[in-house]
Amino acid sequence: MSAASCDSIRAALPWFVGEELEPEHLASVRAHLVDCFACRAEASALQQGVSRLQRAAAAPVAGVDDAFFGELHRTVVSRVEAMDHAEHRVAAGSPGGGIRAGLALAAMALVGLGFWLGRGTESSIFDRRPLATPVSIESATGTSPALVVPWSGPRWPAMRPLGNEADSDLGGERAGMMARDRLRDLVDERMVLPPRQAPPR
């Protein structure tokens, strides 16, 4: 019997004693144990370990009998029923609880939305240029009392509504919301142009 084969057989012994070995290995282990005394002793020691464990588990335990389990059953069932009743009481005791919870959630969502809109520095709705002093050149020189309504939108050009600067050739101070109005006018003008006529044949 070679040492290598003994090693491989011993590696399989913990499964052999628990009858967990695959059938294809079972026959070879059995054949080896017939001839090898050392491996047989090892298998016997492992088998005794399993048997000892089972015997110890089967030994009676003081105080654990049918009465013990009857009491355990009553305790568990009463505990679970009390828990269930308490949950039902909570649910039944607050008929408008669902609506209140919904309103609270909606309020939280609104607050969250406000924070989301105000997040960061550049896109903050709170980060607006304060209204300028309503004074124009005319009012400063006293020629006209007309007030100038300043741009009260985002402070930086990058914060203006996108798309206008690229589409419009107006740019500059007219970019932004004002330019969008201008674009709309341009489109309207185009719409009133006479339809394109077909080229003469």
Partner 1 sequence: MLKANAAARPGSFAVPASAAVGLPPGLPTAVLQLAEDGAISDAELVRRTLAGQHDPFSALVARYQKRAFWIAWHVVGRVEDARDVAQEAFVRLFRSLDKYDFTRSFYTWFYRIVMNLAIDSLRKIKSARGQCLDDVLPTLTDEREEAGDVPLQRGEESGQVWSVLDKLDAKFRAVLVLRDIHGLSCREIAPILKVTHATARWRLHRGRLMFKEHWERAQGGTEQ
The first and second tokens of residue 101, run together, are 């919870």
Say if CB 136 and CB 146 are below 8 A apart.
yes
Q: Which is nearer to partner 1, 23 or 194 (CB)?
A: 23
Beta strand ranges found along the chain (DSSP E): none
State how far the Cα of 1 lies from the Cα of 24, in Å rounded to an integer. Answer: 20
Q: Which is nearer to partner 1, 55 or 129 (CB)?
A: 55
Minimum Å gap between C-beta 15 and partner 1 is 6
Shorter beta-carbon distance to partner 1: residue 14 or 150: 14
Q: Cβ of residue 75: shortest distance to partner 1, in angstroms?
A: 6
Complex with partner 1: residue 24 or 66, whichever CB lies closer: 66
CA–CA separation, 152 and 182 (whole Å) = 19
Contacts of 147 (CB under 8 A, 6+ apart): 134, 135, 136, 139
Catalog residues that contact partner 1 under the rule CB under 8 A. 14-15, 17-18, 20, 45-46, 49-50, 52-70, 72-77, 79-81, 83-84
Q: To the nearest whole angstrom, how small is the minimum distance from the Cβ of residue 6 to partner 1? A: 15
- Residue whose entry in the numeric block shows the structure tokens 């020629």: 143
Smallest gap from residue 99 Cβ to partner 1 (A):
24
